[in-house]
Structure 1
Amino acid sequence: MSEKTPKASRSAPAPRLPRGEVSTATWRDLAVVSVLSALGIWGLAPAFSDNGYLLAGLGGLLVGTAAGYLSHLFRLNAFFTGLSAIVLYFMLGSALAMPGYALFAVLPTLTTLRGLALGAVFGWTDLVTLSAPAGAPEYITVLPYAAAWLVGLVTTVLVLRWLPRHDRSPARLSVLLIGPTALYLLGILYGTSTPFLAGLRGISFAVLALLWLGWRRGGVTNASLQERRGLNRTKLLGSAIVAVAAILVAAVAGSILIPPPESRFVLREEVVPPFDPQDYPSPLSGFRKYTKDLGETDLFSVTGLAASDRVRLAVMDSYDGRLWDVSGAEDQTDGSGSFRLVGDELPAPALLESSGARSVSVSVSGYSGVWLPIVGYPETISLPTEPTDTSQDLRYNAETATTVITSGVDTGYEYSFTTEVQDAFSDQALSNVPVARVELPLVERVPDVVAAKAAEFAGAATTPIDQLRALEQALKINGFLSHGLASDSVPSRAGHGADRIEELFTRNQMIGDEEQFAAAFALMARSLGHPARVVMGFAPKDVKEGETVTVTGDDVTAWVEVPFQGVGWVAFSPTPDEKEIPQDQNPKPKTEPQPQVRQPPRAEKQDDDLLTEVDINDSEEDEKNEDAFALPLWVWILGGALGASLLLYLVPLLVIAAIKRRRMRLRRTAATADARAAGAWDELLDRYAEVGYVLPEIGTRRMFAADLGSQVETEAAQANGTAERADRPGGLATLTRLAHGTDEAVFSGRNLPEKRIDELWQTSVESSTGAASAVGWWRRQLSRFRVHTGRTMTDRLTAPGRGTRSGHKGQRKKTAE
């Protein structure tokens, strides 16, 4: 019988070390994988406002690595490995990810523990809706900490506990690169459209990974010293070629391979911000509430105003024939609907000319709502953290300088910010300046009289500033101010729908308030081709610099802004000053005498009933009530994901279990007693291999028993920390007895009784169970998905018939001879 020669290129598993010890090669593996992970974490730089993310990411990598090493040192199973890793995550995360909220910058607090939990769950979605660079909420740096912690934990467990038990094939070594590659992709997806050191990081990652794979694969186990030196020279030459080729590719073809920023895929460009202004009524629709109900009410007080400052509340650039509104998030324009989650530092607008910044603080008293009163274009903002932290509710639109607190503000809410105010330019300075190209939503269902009046008022003006000033002056001179109160001499109907705007221009006198005049001016400017938007806010009176100003409902106002190229948004105030409104001079028709008829009593009407409220669309209310008891979409997604995962786990498990049962049944019901006895031995070898034990290439059953028994006892000793007895199930003694019994049945030439065959099968099953209990929980789970066969593909193609493992059929023939 010819013996098989071991393959020269096969690299055997690393020798088993005493408990807790790690080989030098394994430490090198861990170092390389950690450096690759650090390159991936580095790619998150554009998404964060400071280097705190780097401390959190590298710290999380160290914490995960430490947890994986403790798992190896104490031979913890999967449950206790995960438990210890979670404990370390919360114990050390406060100092690494949230030092500003930790006690003495080190010790955990309720805030840091809450942030570490929320950041790991919600940080993934929050970061893609943040305007880069992100600085808030306070738990935002928990994202790189949690991601690196998970990668460090899993990779360290694989390096220390999984790889040493197997040969170093390229496929197994590549498994260790999954975690660092995931971190690298995380930096790309959560970054910005501008790549961050793409060439340097990409080339460094690829070269280091390729060189490590080439050197770590191993060498020839039975080669001479001279052959090994030749192999090392070949490896060194190959490594140099790889490094030089990578540098050449980066230098010559880098500009071709790196896509332009506009075609770069990042998640923040694809995800719709969670705040949708369409979920709230138009702020301008409630304009009369301030003048009618809150005229004498103190809304809020402001410190840091200048005499010409206005307090901005909301910006509306969409008109549908009913009202001016804030455009929705789905409108892909430069408009007012693109609100994003921001931190303490707010992004700068595209159009702004300012001479400097100043500090402003606001204290809310009678005002309530989601729109936050703001002055100018804020750069930084500080929100209250007590009694509740509202920083994670902050949404900001840089182009319109409007701010939203999704949870709403109420009495006692205080905040401060630093801001820049648009500089004022004279008409002469703007005489040759065109309007800026800004894409705004189209206005719809505009009365025809608007364009006619715009052409009439603009007259012979040709430049944008002259046309806009002509419109403004025409409204201010010919219009009359009336808030529609009972005290007004002439009533003024509320609203700014198409019928109200048409009424403004077709009556003998143009009568309205800031709401109607600003809405009409913006529509006329749009008809002339100028991008205009309506702004609602407050204009406090008698402002003295350095003093606190109290804003009331009477201070409410509205104005219009138009962008000029290289200048910014210039404000226009078309509302006329208060003056006496002349009585309507239209002759009244004469009435003819009619016979007296007793009339029914007439219901008394108050003067304020002349006002008509704006029609607010609340048709969605019924839909919301109908869906009140419907399951949220995230519940269906979570259930589907869990169900799909469960199917992916159970279906292969059941199929493989059925295959193993059929294999065992065929062996137990073989035609002859010696085949049934040999089947018990073959079943044992298959189960040992499925658990992860290495089967010898060749040998007798007694040699197999000695080798496998030694492996089982070593595994059990490493798991328990003490020497194992040889007679344990699956150990040397039981395997030797099974080998003797099988040889007796196969080579004795007589049929053993069925009772003896059943004892062999019972010993086989007990030995397989004992061998499985000696290894870790993870290997036992993997064995459920493995189906081992003792016959190689060569044996299947060349063997004349079905035989037993390891040349048993040939041994039987030789014995018979």
Structure 2
Amino acid sequence: MSAVIAAHERAADTREDRSTDLPRLIAGGVFTLLMVLIAAVAAWPVYRSTSFILLVAVAASLAAGIAVLAQLRRWSGWLVAALLAGAFVVVGVPLAVPARLAGPAEFVRGLAELGAGVVVGWKDLVTVELPVGSYRNLLMPALVVFLVGTAAALRLSWRADRLAYAAVPVGLAMTGFGLLFGQPVVSAPLVFGPVTLTAPVETAVGALAVLAGILWLAWRTHDERIRALQRAALSSGVRITRRPSRSERRRTLLGAGMVVLALVIGAGVVPLLAPGGSRDVLRSAAGPDLDLSREVSPLAEYRALFADDRAGDVLFTVAAGGERTPDRVRLATLDTYDGEVFRSGADAASRFVRLPSALDPGAGTPARAEIEIGEWEGIWMPTLGRVATVRFDGDRADALTDRFYYNADLAAAVQTADGGFVPGDRYVVDGVEPAPPALSSLSAPGAPEDGAPAAPENLSRWVERHAVGEGGQALEGLVSLLRERGYLSHALEMGAQPPLWMSDLPDYRFQPSAAGHSLARIDDMFDTLLERESDPRAAETGNYVAAIGDDEQFAVAVALIARELGFPSRVVVGARLASPDTGVSVCDGGACRAQDISAWTEVQGEDGRWVPIDVTPQYAQSPSLEVTEQRDPENVTEVLPDPVEEVVPPDPTQEDSARDDTDEARDGLDLAWLWPILRITGLVLLILLLVLGPFLAIVLAKSLRRRGRRRRGDAATRVASGWDEYVDAAVDAGHAVPAALTRTEVAAALHAPVGRDLALAADRAVFSRADLSDAEAAEFWRGVDGERRRLRRERGFWRGLAATVSLRSFIRHLSPGGDSPRPVERGKRRGILPARATT
């Protein structure tokens, strides 16, 4: 019978414990649900697919079910981890690799990709253009985050000990997944009259996540306090009130004010951290496994394509796969010029990312091309227009897919599998051919000052002399004039037999031209043009053809002319499949030979669209470079000797001063590099101030309070204030010190022998009529300092650190009936103690 009664009592205790835990379980569940929803909103731009929504719902539900069972059954953490691993394997392929559900063999491959995704899926996610949808196994990181994160947040938030507070970092980490793996461009700003809110979506996500964590922490702290008071009431029989005290209301208002202040300061810091609507995320530093800025520029190798041993090689073949045949095939887009070579810059290389299953190419005419690689070498990949999808075929399809990177800004692609393409590689490209506006209709937005070298002097003079109109109209006229007065040549010398590239040019007269597209080469070309224009024989014959070169030089020349007129420009190396311009080379039947490769210039208008400009010079009229010789005049001119004037030597003092000024100006420090460092340092210090500022303020306030107590009044007052400092240190360390206890009772409750001596000394100072010396007060404070250090170290480093920034001692003095910091002065004012001279 006694066993039955004991069992009933244990069951009753269990039911009572579970009923007591119910509010904590509900609060933890609500907090976790909010964090899951906020994390899903943050990660939505990464995926933007219904597969992601299904994954979040199923993963969070499974994690919640496992957490509930573990809570009811009192399962260990190892068992929960095993159940989560089993759930991951069971639902992993349907949720994270849905493309592998076609059959048993595909399902097995999906399991392998699921396992590989655990290791490399995170890296792959930052190298694929967003949104990724359900591309390959890139949903796997989201499955881990929402399955493991939900279970961990629930399990932690339901704990009864202080480890429950770790649920907040777990929830914030779930939210950080979407923010860190998202786009480097923030959402569009919201304007409310004179107020502009930068990055509203990111700010709202971060603010809501932090606010949810703070509210749950506040509720959890309040719940623990109520439980402690209830336990104290049960043990003492003292009834507790349900109404909040004045100190509680002060804490609530203080906490709310700090939250509002943090949100306002955070919203003000966002524009500083995201200048120009950009931010640093993980994909900002991800890209191909090579530095494109160090690769040999295709434009620098352009002249080698026309050598006899390569000019006839078929580099690749393009077959139209749809109703629309693309006009151009793009190989490389070169946006950076250093005065020697046009290449893809380092910033452009960082924007090359993996292409997901589908990419929005924008407006344009749909086009498809089936491309087969022949003798093309290198990493640059033939594409068309703006790419939507790429599907590789053949034995190397998987390797080519994994090592394919695309830059939507440059509309260029690279292939890094085993160093690039090999003959026989095939793929299908789907995209659109944008309809560019007429060149003459463009308005110049202003060329960006990106540190590019200034245009050659002769080019600037030629542009100033011949520019008619403004914007695109002036550029169109200058390009047309340059092509008319240029002459096509791909070689510096001709051997015994005409080169192969000349066979496609009827009635062609060879003229030598040097390779290269440096500023010096371009300047020489325009110097020849200006010299020809000043030749009277050119005016008589009407033949102003003088600039000799090919697309390498003329594409760079047009790019520099466009920048002179305020247009951003870049050079594209590729091939034309069709063109209404009969003066340019096209691929015959889609077979692009080496000698069919060309280059053109693209300029950007105010609307952001890029317009291609053909730059190939004509070859119908050969240049006439003879300059008319001018005879010396026959009239004898009397030459008079120059008069000799006495020259007064300059003042040595002035000369030295001028030299010193010149040297100082020449040797002056260039401090332009200092501003970015100061700006970044300022932002880092501001963030540290926001994070550590409240804690530093608490430490400073305690230090000032301690300093004031140590120097307050006479020796007896300083001793009494030292006792208050000792009690405050004990309260901050987590000890309960009721205000009704005497000093000796407080020391006994703290189990501190030194504290008992301090209590007796403080009582003598307050109640004794004997005078105290400054040395006795200083000795008392040395004992207080030693006890403070002991209280801070007795519970370990982390709890000691928490005691250092604790606000409990301040709240103790704010509450009604709290210990007064000046008991001696108050006793004197009431006449309890006799007046004592201040020493």
Which category of TM-score, normalised to the shorter sequence, fits these structures? 0.5 to 0.7
| 1:555 corresponds to which of 584, 591, 596 | 596
The residue aligned with 1:309 is 327
Report the alpha carbon displacement of residue 282 of structure 1 after superposing the two structures with TM. Answer: 0.8
The 1-side partners of 2:325 and 2:105 are apart by 48
Please identify, of 571-580 and 513-522, the stretch whose mean Cα deviation from structure 2 is larger.
Answer: 571-580
Instruction: Check if 1:295 corresponds to 2:293.
Output: no
The 1-side partners of 2:232 and 2:19 are apart by 26
User: Does the Cα contact within 8 Å between 2:70 and 2:76 map onto a contact in 1?
Assistant: yes
The superposition leaves residues 247-287 of structure 1 with CA deviations (integer Å, 9 ceiling, x where unpaired) of 9988x997776347644565428832333321321121222
The 2-side partners of 1:230 and 1:32 are apart by 28
SS of 1:361's equivalent in the other structure is strand
The 1-side partners of 2:100 and 2:516 are apart by 49
1:144-183 aligned within 5 A: 144-155=142-153, 158=156, 163=159, 168=160, 171-183=162-174
Report the alpha carbon displacement of residue 348 of structure 1 after superposing the two structures with TM. Answer: 6.1
Instruction: Check if 1:283 corresponds to 2:291.
Output: no
Instruction: Check if 1:463 corresponds to 2:454.
Output: no
Instruction: Check if 1:515 corresponds to 2:552.
Output: yes
1:181–1:46 distance in 2 versus 1, CA, 3 Å: same
User: Does the Cα contact within 8 Å between 1:295 and 1:553 map onto a contact in 2?
Assistant: yes
1:77–1:279 distance in 2 versus 1, CA, 3 Å: farther
User: Does the Cα contact within 8 Å between 2:525 and 2:548 map onto a contact in 1?
Assistant: yes
Report the alpha carbon displacement of residue 464 of structure 1 after superposing the two structures with TM. Answer: 2.0
The residue aligned with 1:49 is 48
The 2-side partners of 1:148 and 1:342 are apart by 25
Structure 1 unaligned residues grouped into runs of 5+: 1-13, 330-334, 589-790, 801-817
SS of 1:435's equivalent in the other structure is coil
The residue aligned with 1:669 is none
The superposition leaves residues 189-243 of structure 1 with CA deviations (integer Å, 9 ceiling, x where unpaired) of 4445232553666655544554455447663136479x999766769xx99x989
Q: Structure 2: which amino acid aligns with 1:100?
A: A
The residue aligned with 1:116 is 114
1:593-672 aligned within 5 A: none
1:388–1:183 distance in 2 versus 1, CA, 3 Å: same
1:319-330 aligned within 5 A: 319-329=337-347
The 1-side partners of 2:749 and 2:110 are apart by 57
The residue aligned with 1:449 is 458
The superposition leaves residues 323-345 of structure 1 with CA deviations (integer Å, 9 ceiling, x where unpaired) of 2111222xxxxx68643444234
User: Does the Cα contact within 8 Å between 2:471 and 2:565 map onto a contact in 1?
Assistant: no
| 1:494 corresponds to which of 499, 515, 527 | 515
Q: Which has the higher contact order (CA 8 A, sep 6+)?
A: 1
1:567–1:58 distance in 2 versus 1, CA, 3 Å: closer
Instruction: Check if 1:569 corresponds to 2:610.
Output: yes
Q: Structure 1: which amino acid aligns with 2:609?
A: G
Please identify, of 211-220 and 141-150, the stretch whose mean Cα deviation from structure 2 is larger.
Answer: 211-220
Instruction: Check if 1:370 corresponds to 2:391.
Output: no
1:50-449 aligned within 5 A: 50-64=49-63, 82-103=81-102, 109-128=107-126, 130-135=128-133, 138-155=136-153, 158=156, 163=159, 168=160, 171-192=162-183, 193-194=186-187, 195-196=201-202, 197-198=204-205, 203=211, 206-207=214-215, 210-211=218-219, 214-215=222-223, 219=227, 220-221=230-231, 223=233, 258-259=267-268, 262-263=271-272, 266-268=279-281, 271-275=284-288, 276-292=291-307, 293-297=310-314, 299-303=316-320, 304=322, 309-329=327-347, 338-346=351-359, 356-366=364-374, 367-382=376-391, 387-388=397-398, 390-407=400-417, 408-410=420-422, 411-425=424-438, 427=440, 430=441, 433-439=442-448, 441-444=450-453, 447-449=456-458
The 2-side partners of 1:527 and 1:561 are apart by 14
The superposition leaves residues 653-680 of structure 1 with CA deviations (integer Å, 9 ceiling, x where unpaired) of xxxxxxxxxxxxxxxxxxxxxxxxxxxx
The 2-side partners of 1:336 and 1:154 are apart by 39
User: Does the Cα contact within 8 Å between 2:45 and 2:182 map onto a contact in 1?
Assistant: yes
Instruction: Check if 1:525 corresponds to 2:562.
Output: yes
Report the alpha carbon displacement of residue 539 of structure 1 after superposing the two structures with TM. Answer: 0.8
The superposition leaves residues 567-603 of structure 1 with CA deviations (integer Å, 9 ceiling, x where unpaired) of 6222222222332535765799xxxxxxxxxxxxxxx
The 2-side partners of 1:296 and 1:285 are apart by 19
1:210–1:337 distance in 2 versus 1, CA, 3 Å: closer
1:373–1:176 distance in 2 versus 1, CA, 3 Å: same
SS of 2:416's equivalent in the other structure is strand
User: Does the Cα contact within 8 Å between 1:397 and 1:403 map onto a contact in 2?
Assistant: yes
SS of 1:109's equivalent in the other structure is helix
1:511–1:25 distance in 2 versus 1, CA, 3 Å: same
User: Does the Cα contact within 8 Å between 1:379 and 1:420 map onto a contact in 2?
Assistant: no
Report the alpha carbon displacement of residue 456 of structure 1 after superposing the two structures with TM. Answer: 3.5
Structure 2 unaligned residues grouped into runs of 5+: 1-11, 188-200, 503-509, 533-545, 581-587, 630-747, 758-839
Report the alpha carbon displacement of residue 299 of structure 1 after superposing the two structures with TM. Answer: 0.9
Report the alpha carbon displacement of residue 517 of structure 1 after superposing the two structures with TM. Answer: 1.4
SS of 1:312's equivalent in the other structure is strand
Report the alpha carbon displacement of residue 538 of structure 1 after superposing the two structures with TM. Answer: 0.7
The residue aligned with 2:751 is 794
The superposition leaves residues 431-474 of structure 1 with CA deviations (integer Å, 9 ceiling, x where unpaired) of xx52124536443375433323333343xx13022321232122
The superposition leaves residues 619-648 of structure 1 with CA deviations (integer Å, 9 ceiling, x where unpaired) of xxxxxxxxxxxxxxxxxxxxxxxxxxxxxx
1:743-754 aligned within 5 A: none
1:48–1:247 distance in 2 versus 1, CA, 3 Å: farther
User: Does the Cα contact within 8 Å between 2:52 and 2:133 map onto a contact in 1?
Assistant: no
The 1-side partners of 2:20 and 2:65 are apart by 14
Aligned pair count reads 556
Q: Structure 2: which amino acid aligns with 1:52?
A: S
Q: Structure 2: which amino acid aligns with 1:179?
A: V
User: Does the Cα contact within 8 Å between 1:173 and 1:213 map onto a contact in 2?
Assistant: no
The 2-side partners of 1:498 and 1:153 are apart by 63
The 1-side partners of 2:141 and 2:130 are apart by 15
The superposition leaves residues 680-733 of structure 1 with CA deviations (integer Å, 9 ceiling, x where unpaired) of xxxxxxxxxxxxxxxxxxxxxxxxxxxxxxxxxxxxxxxxxxxxxxxxxxxxxx
Q: Structure 2: which amino acid aligns with 1:475?
A: L
Report the alpha carbon displacement of residue 298 of structure 1 after superposing the two structures with TM. Answer: 5.2
User: Does the Cα contact within 8 Å between 2:475 and 2:565 map onto a contact in 1?
Assistant: no
The 1-side partners of 2:316 and 2:91 are apart by 45
User: Does the Cα contact within 8 Å between 2:370 and 2:427 map onto a contact in 1?
Assistant: yes
Q: Structure 2: which amino acid aligns with 1:282?
A: S
Please identify, of 386-395 and 216-225, the stretch whose mean Cα deviation from structure 2 is larger.
Answer: 216-225
1:233–1:210 distance in 2 versus 1, CA, 3 Å: same
SS of 2:517's equivalent in the other structure is coil
SS of 1:496's equivalent in the other structure is coil
TM-score (norm 2): 0.56
1:108–1:203 distance in 2 versus 1, CA, 3 Å: farther
The 1-side partners of 2:112 and 2:272 are apart by 38
User: Does the Cα contact within 8 Å between 1:534 and 1:561 map onto a contact in 2?
Assistant: yes
User: Does the Cα contact within 8 Å between 1:33 and 1:176 map onto a contact in 2?
Assistant: no
SS of 2:286's equivalent in the other structure is coil
The 2-side partners of 1:578 and 1:404 are apart by 34
The 1-side partners of 2:226 and 2:589 are apart by 76
1:80–1:224 distance in 2 versus 1, CA, 3 Å: closer
1:505–1:277 distance in 2 versus 1, CA, 3 Å: same
Report the alpha carbon displacement of residue 310 of structure 1 after superposing the two structures with TM. Answer: 1.7
